[in-house]
Structure 1
Amino acid sequence: MSSAVLHRDTHFIPRKAVGGEGCYIFLEDGTKFLDSTGGAAVSCLGHGNEHVKQVVKAQIDQISYCHSAFFGTQATEDLATFLTESTGGKMSKLFVVSSGSEAFEAALKLARQYFLELPTPQPERTRFISRLPSYHGTTLGALGAGGHVQRRQPFEPLLAQNTSHVSPCYPYRGKKEGESDADYVARLAAELDAEFQRVGPEKVCAFIAEPIVGAALGCVPAVPGYFPAVKAVCEKYGALLILDEIMCGMGRCGTLHAWEQEGIVPDIQTIAKGLGGGYVPVSGILINDAVVQTMDKGTGQFRHGQTYQGHPVSCAAALAVQQTIKQQALLENVSDMGHYLEQRLRQEFESHPHVGDIRGKGLFWGLEFVQDKTTKEPFDPKHRLAFHIQETGLKKEYAVSFYGSSGTVDGIRGDHVIIAPPYIVTKEEIDVVVDTLAKVLEVVLANFHE
């Protein structure tokens, strides 16, 4: 069998999905596949939601596209109103594009332009600080701002050199023995402060971080007090705070915005995956009112635009997804089922000799695998452990998704899997996910030892 599609691997043609309902995807070979990762933490409402489908059809019947340089649409206005109101007006504008990488690119450009719009412009601010081993998107700007060695490596000569990196808030590996949360936070804040000083605090546009680190580390929440501490460092030097909530936001971790749990408000926030639940390609940036006011008193023009900016079908679908989450109180289910998922994962894997850490929030959980639990030594990258767990789960006899990633420890070594089921998931489905992961892990590790 051949394909004219450039798939992720030219040597492999994936099985075709032919339908979907709730937490399940139906494949052409008859497999009923439990989508326990929502793809890449995308399908928050599951598949085939009737209300969203009808809204999309109605919007296409009304108008499917117009260019934002010429016209606006009610769908875009309604989505922006819903999302800005969800922040209590703290974030007062929404900019809508089509993918997480696009949203992140827009955030970088807006951060830079903010400093050009100040009453006394600061054109020397051209740098960013992010964390290791972060991932913020695949486009060159987003990849350059990230700090994931594997993902950056082939394109390193093409990447801008205006981002430097500090340590993540990663207690499993970063916290010293006997160190309190407060001391750990103070040490990380001091490291960030020192990095501002090293590159020149007057040169930095923004510090970039995910509230709960997704693909790069596998669902790592910050310890209490971390975000207020780094926000204070940013404010000390007049830099912005960009929070990347592309994977962890829009309800995934129990509140609509992950920053609501951290006691701070970002200057710019990127959103995507759970925004449209996979029904359409849609993403955006939410912008703090202080940034908006600065722009408004300056030129009033964001020097950035895209063909599908504010796409009416995408906006209508995203609003339908968000209204459904609100009307069906699905954030309560995220919290309830999240607690149950944590409980089951800890019951099953806490004493497993090769599971080093179990971490997460809401319906966003990760397991990090180690060769030696005492030393936390990861598996040799040649084993491709996370890849094999993911691929084995895809087999017909298991038919459950596990989002595998490598480079957890240093961008090269280390393996983890993410579980991020739809917000409608049930206890019974969580039981299937955890029980299947136990079987898959047993099979994969047995193959290593043969």
Structure 2
Amino acid sequence: MVLRPLDPPPEGNGVDGARTVEKSAVLHRDLRYRFHSVAGGEGNHLVLEDGRRVFDASGGAAVGCLGWGNERVARAVLRQMLAIPYCSTVFYTTRAQEELCRFLVDSTNGKMSRAYIVNSGSEAMEAAVKLARQYFLELPEPENKRVRFISRRQSYHGITLGALAVGGHEYRRAKFEPLLMKNVSRVSPCNAFRGKIAGETDEDYVSRLANELDNEFQTVGPETVCAFIAEPVVGAALGCVPSVPGYFKAMQAICRKYGALLILDEVMCGMGRTGTLHAWEQEGVVPDIQTIGKALGGGYQPVAGVLASHRVMDVIERGSSVFVHGHTYQGHPAGCAAALEVQRIIREENLLANVQAMGALLAKRLRERLQDHPNVGDIRGRGLFWGVEFVADKSTLAPFPADAHVAPAICERGVVKYGISLYPGSGSADGIRGDHVIISPAFNVRSEEVEWIVDAVGRLVDDFFAAGIPIGGASA
């Protein structure tokens, strides 16, 4: 996070008349950063306390899929809260939960069997990992040795200890490595921009990555691996990097070869963000377990979930029929009501078609405007999920030093000077260095708004790099 100087806080009278300085009582992400205060939201704009309007071109962290102030969703949540705001899922269910899960299962055209609703992507990944383990224990001939997971470097699957352990985000892992489970190994991501060798075809690249995964199974013992975990389009850790054609088919074939499951993390890239409701629909595979979130509820309530295939659920149903996992607020009625209404709006208004059309326009305009910039290394994405990666040297693709904080500084300048909000990320080059921003507007964005976004981003990037990058703390 790039630091902005704190405004002098107001003074007040303390004990015995002593002068005290007020400070926030919030344990913020960064205790030295002066956060912008949001007062409201109107459509695709955030309204700040000081009256400024900021175009939310990223939907926060790719969350806002309908924009802000949608009264239809708000009314659905209010109706549910007035009916029953909480459900103890040890004993009860609600129509909201049943209808949402039915909608989600049906949306896979019969490919998935059941859905499990939680409140965050991290919770969803924790549940997915435990479900994978339990699947092998419930087989007619239990496979007790299956305790390992294989994921990818420069991946992010959540911030809780279990989710952090199966991810590969070096910065977020660093302080907690001694606490993380050690039964996880990682292979290379599928990142054509930085991973492909000069002259290598997509087919050769996929073959090389498949061999790497196969070798990893052999190294750790194929009989010990529960699942391979990956994002169809990598979000925060790499900045909207899609796989090359055929990659996930090859990865699933390796998993099938050794009897392991395929877990696809679609918390950031799923629920329509990349142009189909489920990102795996574009990959020619069906996961055994899938996590979803963010655009599931569009930010109107905290909600995420897990989808499990027939392969997994048939074994559980014939076995104990009990998933040994649970949260106090799982299947939260208000969260389910919000998610169901958001998904109904997306379907009724045919917004996935708009994601595809506006995504194509966004891609075209971004490349026209930025691909020749000396500090823009790559522009990549799918649907309305696009990343721009910055480089210090375009000829070598060398990243900026990590302590330049380029991506957060660009985003800060965007809010302050250009009235646009983007989402920053780092580590896209080697896990520590490498800066990118994510552009992921609402699914109902219009063509004139896409044009405005690209113009604002273009002027922002030109302005930022023209001003120079002071190492040790980029200016905003």
Q: CA deviation at 1:183?
A: 0.8
Tell me, yes or no, if the aligned pair for 1:3 and 1:13 is still in contact at 8 Å: no
The answer to whether residue 26 in structure 2 is matched with residue 5 in structure 1 is yes
Matches of 1:67 and 1:90, distance apart in 2: 29
Tell me, yes or no, if the aligned pair for 1:383 and 1:448 is still in contact at 8 Å: no
**Where do residues 287-366 of structure 1 align in structure 2 (5 Å cutoff)?**
287-366=308-387
SS at match of 2:149: strand
Matches of 2:199 and 2:255, distance apart in 1: 28
Counterpart in the other structure of 2:474: none
**Where do residues 40-439 of structure 1 align in structure 2 (5 Å cutoff)?**
40-395=61-416, 397-439=417-459
Matches of 2:376 and 2:274, distance apart in 1: 22
Q: CA deviation at 1:449?
A: 5.5
SS at match of 1:279: coil
Matches of 2:86 and 2:169, distance apart in 1: 36
Q: CA deviation at 1:439?
A: 2.1
Q: CA deviation at 1:177?
A: 1.1
Of structures 1 and 2, the larger Rg is shown by 2
Matches of 2:418 and 2:388, distance apart in 1: 19
Tell me, yes or no, if the aligned pair for 1:370 and 1:414 is still in contact at 8 Å: yes
Identity of aligned residues (%): 59
Tell me, yes or no, if the aligned pair for 2:131 and 2:323 is still in contact at 8 Å: yes
Q: CA deviation at 1:151?
A: 1.1
For residues 71-96 of structure 1, the C-alpha deviation after alignment (integer angstroms, 9 at most, x for no partner) is: 01110000011010000121110000
Q: CA deviation at 1:120?
A: 0.3
Per mean C-alpha deviation after superposition, the further-off stretch among 230-239 and 400-409 is 400-409
Per mean C-alpha deviation after superposition, the further-off stretch among 8-17 and 296-305 is 8-17
Tell me, yes or no, if the aligned pair for 1:22 and 1:424 is still in contact at 8 Å: no
Per mean C-alpha deviation after superposition, the further-off stretch among 349-358 and 233-242 is 349-358
- TM, length-normalised to structure 1: 0.98
For residues 305-337 of structure 1, the C-alpha deviation after alignment (integer angstroms, 9 at most, x for no partner) is: 000011111101100000000000000110010
AA of the residue aligned to 1:236? K
Aligned length: 449
AA of the residue aligned to 2:225? V
AA of the residue aligned to 2:455? D
Cα gap change, 1:449/1:76 in structure 2, threshold over 3 Å: closer, same or farther? closer
Matches of 1:216 and 1:162, distance apart in 2: 21
**Stretches of structure 1 lacking an aligned partner (at least 5 in a row):** none
AA of the residue aligned to 2:246? G
For residues 287-309 of structure 1, the C-alpha deviation after alignment (integer angstroms, 9 at most, x for no partner) is: 00110000001101000000001
The answer to whether residue 35 in structure 2 is matched with residue 14 in structure 1 is yes
Tell me, yes or no, if the aligned pair for 1:7 and 1:13 is still in contact at 8 Å: no
- Of 50, 58, 61, the match for 1:29: 50
Matches of 1:124 and 1:441, distance apart in 2: 51
Matches of 1:212 and 1:15, distance apart in 2: 30
Matches of 1:390 and 1:195, distance apart in 2: 38
Tell me, yes or no, if the aligned pair for 1:211 and 1:258 is still in contact at 8 Å: yes
Counterpart in the other structure of 2:464: 444
AA of the residue aligned to 2:438? I
Tell me, yes or no, if the aligned pair for 2:87 and 2:331 is still in contact at 8 Å: no
Matches of 2:371 and 2:32, distance apart in 1: 37
Matches of 1:93 and 1:365, distance apart in 2: 31
Matches of 1:47 and 1:332, distance apart in 2: 20
Matches of 1:278 and 1:400, distance apart in 2: 19
Tell me, yes or no, if the aligned pair for 2:232 and 2:265 is still in contact at 8 Å: yes
Per mean C-alpha deviation after superposition, the further-off stretch among 34-43 and 377-386 is 377-386
Moved over 4 A (4+): none
AA of the residue aligned to 1:371? A
Q: CA deviation at 1:429?
A: 1.5
SS at match of 1:194: helix
Q: CA deviation at 1:445?
A: 1.6
Q: CA RMSD in A?
A: 0.9
Counterpart in the other structure of 2:5: none
AA of the residue aligned to 1:329? N
AA of the residue aligned to 1:176? I
